[in-house]
Amino acid sequence: MALILCFWILSFVIRGGLSVPSPVAWYANGKTPSRRYGSPAYGTSKIPMDIYIMSKCPDARDCMQMLILPTMQNVSDIIDLNLSYIGTENADGSVTCKHGPTECQGNIIELCAAQINPDPKTILGFTMCMYLQYPLIPNRELVESCALQHWIPIEKLDECTSRDNGEFGMSLLRKSVAKSAEDEVKISCTVKLEGKTVCVRDGGEWVDCPRHEPQELEDDIKKLAGKQ
């Protein structure tokens, strides 16, 4: 780990790159995700978790940092994670995002990252890294830094976002926005387990969210998976 950190620092000193704080998540306090709940004795079924977000939304940042990442620290191996983005599809096939065109670009970048490496640790780590400086999205140095930290090859990310003159990435965004609309979700951040809304973060407040502490959400997930 020390070698990786030294390499990261050196590479950005040489390149004069952007300094991005490490996400508060998984590896806080030296912890790695526990896999004790994924042992054969507990079965192998995974609980669908849908998180509906916008890449430049401060409520989504808070939701990820305060609830989702601490929760996933111990249950990532029993979660089937899906990030869905909120926006409006237009008649011409374009998408309008609440925080402007740069948010649409950020959404596409994060969707492409998930295409390249769908592992929940990677998806959430990369997304949280972007949220830590979300006003800068889609700043190139920010994207490169987050990709490097979370082992996403930047050349693959570039290929995904530029494929078919950008149409491939736009198709990912359209599908994601369509899912959010189909699920009747309009607020970023909304969290669902097995299709049921369990928490909403809106306007800096927890809404319809009686159990918004990480341990409480973790307990709910384990109960659904038959782990308690």
The answer to whether 49 and 82 are in contact (CB under 8 A) is: yes
- The sign one gets for the Cα dihedral 137, 164, 158, 79 is positive
Number of continuous H segments (helices) and E segments (strands) in the chain: 9, 7
* Cut 0.85: pTM above it: no
Which residues have CB under 8 Å from 34's CB, separation 6+?
73, 74
Write the CATH number of the domain with boundaries 47-224.
3.40.30.10
Confidence band (pLDDT; 50, 70, 90) for 209? confident
What is the average pLDDT across 140-150?
98
The reported pLDDT for the residue numbered 122 is 94
Each domain of the chain, given as residue ranges in start order, spans 47-224
- The sign one gets for the Cα dihedral 143, 147, 148, 150 is positive
**What average pLDDT is seen over the chain?**
84
pLDDT value at 128 more than 90: yes
